[in-house]
Structure 1
Amino acid sequence: MTTDISTFDLEEAGAVLAAESARFASFGWMRGTSGNLSVVVSRDPLRLAVTASGHDKGELTPSDVVLVDGKGAAVNGGKPSAEAELHARVAALTGAGAVVHVHTVASVAMGRRVPGGILFKDLEMLKGIGQPAHDVEVLLPVIANSQDMEVLGDRLEAARDPRMPAVVVAGHGLYVWGDTPRQARHHTEIVEWLLELELTGD
């Protein structure tokens, strides 16, 4: 199965998202029906395959996805995640090919502890998001939550650091992105590691 978004069809995208969701669910990052994932299947016009609303993310099948447009609205029926609009906004804003949203304890706890944003430096794991391990500070923004995805997207756009492919939504969880589903997965695992380190540090 290819992970080149230029050749994804909806069934392939669904299979990829089901596998990625099962992986994240196994870590306890998508408990119950929480969290959502997407992959870009077309750039012009922008179309994304997004995990369907209300499904256990550890038990998704390739058919449990919905095709949405650049505003997060379903194209061919189905009920996408309520946050599909934000996925589309991130894809358009950053050029990402895949977006991950997980509800991790570390992201919520650190968002409360450091509401102004979380700085990382002098850590080898920063290489996993394409940054030097030393002599640079990288900010993981924390933004206030909203049930209005346009408002939340505006906050994300205003706060994001181009060097950090992620933001924390206060009281909610973590949004992470990458060029491909695999890169988005790697970025998610790296950022979550960084958050867990900060949470357990002095």
Structure 2
Amino acid sequence: MAAERTQERDRERERPMARIRLDLPRERRARLLPEYDPEAFGRLSERIARFLGTGRFLVWMTVTIVVWVAWNIFAPASLKFDQYPFIFLTLVLSLQASYAAPLILLAQNRQDDRDRVNLEQDRKQNERSIADTEYLTREIAALRMGLGEVATRDWIRSELQDMLKELEERMEERLDERLAERLDGRRDLFPPDDARGSDVPDR
């Protein structure tokens, strides 16, 4: 008896756990209404709505009504299926209109949903473009500010010309110094005539 009671308790504990578990798929429930693919039905409604909005549909509709009326007027009485008030034709046209209007509305709703998605994507793209433009504007402004501190080509040329002038002046000074040193050395080797005359004895 005790073993049976413990087994019943374990079963009762397992039942709510099986309902709570999320790793198992839910059991499929029986539905009264038939199931259908809303995407496929929407595509079909768009095709029908496109066909209803063409001139071909109007031509075929006109031909059908003319043939219907002509047949029911000029055909023998035994072959007529819709007499003069054309009640059956009115019923067919009203039935066609009652189905066409919801199909057209469904196609318009799908188009509105697509337009809404496209507008949202365009808005996000515009926001990204604006953000990129602002970023590039800031970068260009930073580059312009940085270029004020960077050496330009004309400034480098002027600095190089100044350096060349300084080098030329230094070279000229060194050449002058060397020439002066050489001249001083030659003067030591060949003293002037006054100095030589004082050393040479008179004859």
Q: Sort the TM-score into its range (normalised by shorter chain).
A: under 0.3
By percentage of residues, which structure has more helix? 2
Greater C-alpha Rg: 2
Higher strand share: 1
TM-score normalised according to structure 2 size? 0.18
